[in-house]
Amino acid sequence: MKKYDKNSLIGFVLMAVILIVFNTFFFPDIPQEQAPVAALTEAIITETQFTETTVATPTLSNSVISEELKTKYGVFASAANGTNEFQVIENDKLKITVANKGGRIVSVILKEYQTFDSLALDLFDADSSRFNLQFTTGHNINTADLYFVAEQSSNTLSMKLKADDSHYVEYLYTLTDDYLIDFDIKFIGMESLIPSGINYMNLEWQMKTPQTEKSKTNQDMYTGIQYQYSADNEGDYLSFTSTDEDKINARLNWVAFKQQFFSAIFIANDGFEKPTHLVSTKSEGSEFIKDLAAKFELPYQHKIDEQLSFQFYFGPNHYKTLKAYNSGFEELVPLGWGIFGWVNQYIIINIFDFLSKYFSSYGIIILLLTLIIKIGLAPFTYKAFLSQAKMKVLKPEIDKINDKLKGKDPMKAQQETMGLYRKAGVNPMGGCLPMLFQFPILIAMFRFFPASIELRQESFLWADDLSSYDSIYNLGFEIPFYGDHISLFTLLMTVSTLLYTRMNSSMATGQMAQMKWMMYLMPIMFLGFFNNYAAGLSYYYFLANMFTFTQQYFMKIMINEDEILAQLEANKKKPAKPKSKFQKKLEDMQKKQEQQLKGKKKK
């Protein structure tokens, strides 16, 4: 286990403590009723020896080359030759590198973050990305093939594609003090060069997303294209699990090339004209995660000095950071739909942020978060436990009913059992109440931890990154459906889940025995899935199980079964409570089923 010996020992000691505590306090217990390539380095960026060689036959003279270029590019022939140099604009958060060739951004380094292997985090690479404006002057022009003239002033960079000093296309980049970049496309004198019948041009944006996270599999799960409709500000996306493409025949506010923890968003101030063609391609066997591409249709109205205004967002997928832009960017953080998303947005994130102000260790923060959730659910957990205690006390009488009518009349056995519950004042569904509250939280946590950038590269005990898998031993080979390493947090979670299952199903009989095996099987199946998932999630589920053990231990001390039995006997002597509408409806359904069964037997 190399350097992890000490931390690994802590994990195994925890497993032993669980087993000892379980066998001492919890068995037997009350049964529960079951129902694209590496980034440009700074040295490369600062050098200007990156020259682009124009493909030409060496024996041809310059005059011949000039005529060929004029034939191909027309008035922009002079921009076809040049030296590719790089301009840099930056603030405290971003370092943006723009190339003369194509006038495009070729590198975006997020200064506050690093890749999993401690390199500068570059969202995309020059050789695996493309930004190209297509238009015609009678000659088809692709700006990606031509050289722009750079002019820089403070945090504003002008890149001009010149026909001459009075006719040019200008890209104007203005870096703000955060993650936004204003991007304007100006057409100066171009109304006299672009044919009057042309009223639109195409803009191509493409990037192959590089691996920036420890787990390539997890990064792939959260990498893809998302976008927002202008009509209702509703978001949508292409498939994240397979290659997908779509032609959107509606106006869009923005299109995002989303990665697990970072995004590049292209925003149109006046919306993107329809149609917009989007393609997301899985890069199987490649060093890249996915190949993302978008093709936009931009309007051109032949105005004098016409301008189109856009913005780029290059930054983290941090919920509150994205939400502050009031543009729906927060939808890029996959917190879950419906109630699961609400739990994350209004409860979990706020508790998490509050704790982050006072504690620097995210392992401690997760522990406190778990404790707060468990205390909040404690009243419901107590009611469920009390309901289970009542069911246990009534079990001998229920067994008598089942034995008396075994193999004779299952419907009558069920009716008598329900009647016993009603007389004793027991709600057989009472044990399900806490699950109604816990289930949304369990699912919310499942979505929160892998998507939480706060956990990225945060270490705790033997885990070096709580947003990715923890590994105490690398196997050197891969086991199907499991992986090539051993995650100790996942083992702890699995063992504690199996013990919890044993506590709540040790007395299951009959049909419940089949459910019992199913309940044991599920943790084993999850062992393979969680082995490659976020360590923070497995750690949370492990803590949740441990707190549940503790709660049940103290509740067991508080609840006296003899007193419960006496109370139930007293309840039996009282007049039975009137049947609820639900009970009446259930009994009517049972009677109909009985009549149907009798009818079949007569036949």
pTM exceeds 0.85 for this model: no
With a cut of 90, say whether residue 106 has pLDDT above it: yes
Residue 601 inside a domain? The answer is: no
Q: How far apart are the first and last CA of the chain?
A: 71
CA 339 to chain centre: 16
Identify the domain boundary among 297, 332, 367.
332
With a cut of 70, say whether residue 426 has pLDDT above it: no
pLDDT on residue 40: 31
With a cut of 80, say whether residue 197 has pLDDT above it: yes
Residue 380 pLDDT grade (very low, low, confident, very high; cuts 50, 70, 90)? confident
19 plus 56 within the same structural domain: no
254 plus 314 within the same structural domain: yes
> Higher model confidence: residue 575 or residue 95?
95
With a cut of 60, say whether residue 19 has pLDDT above it: no
441 plus 364 within the same structural domain: yes
Residue 551 pLDDT grade (very low, low, confident, very high; cuts 50, 70, 90)? confident
Cα distance between residue 136 and residue 119, in whole Å: 41
Average pLDDT, rounded, for the chain: 80
Residue 390 pLDDT grade (very low, low, confident, very high; cuts 50, 70, 90)? confident
119 plus 241 within the same structural domain: yes
With a cut of 80, say whether residue 326 has pLDDT above it: yes
Cα distance between residue 385 and residue 32, in whole Å: 8
Residue 72 inside a domain? The answer is: yes
pLDDT on residue 404: 66
79 plus 26 within the same structural domain: no
Strand partners, 228: 235, 254
Contact (CB, 8 A) for 90 and 107: no
pLDDT on residue 443: 86
Residue 500 inside a domain? The answer is: yes
With a cut of 60, say whether residue 601 has pLDDT above it: no
CATH of the domain at 121: 2.70.98.90
pLDDT on residue 446: 87
Total count of domains within the chain: 2
Cα distance between residue 423 and residue 420, in whole Å: 5
Over range 232-237, report the average pLDDT.
92
Residue 473 inside a domain? The answer is: no
Residue 597 inside a domain? The answer is: no
290 plus 206 within the same structural domain: yes
Residue 503 inside a domain? The answer is: yes
295 plus 424 within the same structural domain: no
> Higher model confidence: residue 560 or residue 238?
238
Dihedral (CA of 414, 415, 417, 418) sign = positive
Over range 176-191, report the average pLDDT.
93
63 plus 93 within the same structural domain: yes
Amino acid type, 355: L
> Higher model confidence: residue 139 or residue 31?
139
262 plus 402 within the same structural domain: no
Percent of the chain exceeding pLDDT 90 equals 43
The least confident of 226-240, 355-369, 400-414, 551-565 is 400-414
Residue 296 inside a domain? The answer is: yes
319 plus 369 within the same structural domain: no
With a cut of 50, say whether residue 246 has pLDDT above it: yes
pLDDT on residue 134: 95
446 plus 514 within the same structural domain: yes
Cα–Cα distances in Å, from 526 out to 490, 494, 495, 509, 544? Answer: 9, 8, 11, 25, 16
Over range 120-148, report the average pLDDT.
92
Residue count of the chain, please give it. 603
Cα distance between residue 29 and residue 549, in whole Å: 11
With a cut of 70, say whether residue 12 has pLDDT above it: no
20 plus 52 within the same structural domain: no
Q: Domain containing 537: what range?
A: 2-30+351-457+488-584
Nearest to 497 by CA among 434, 449, 540, 448: 540
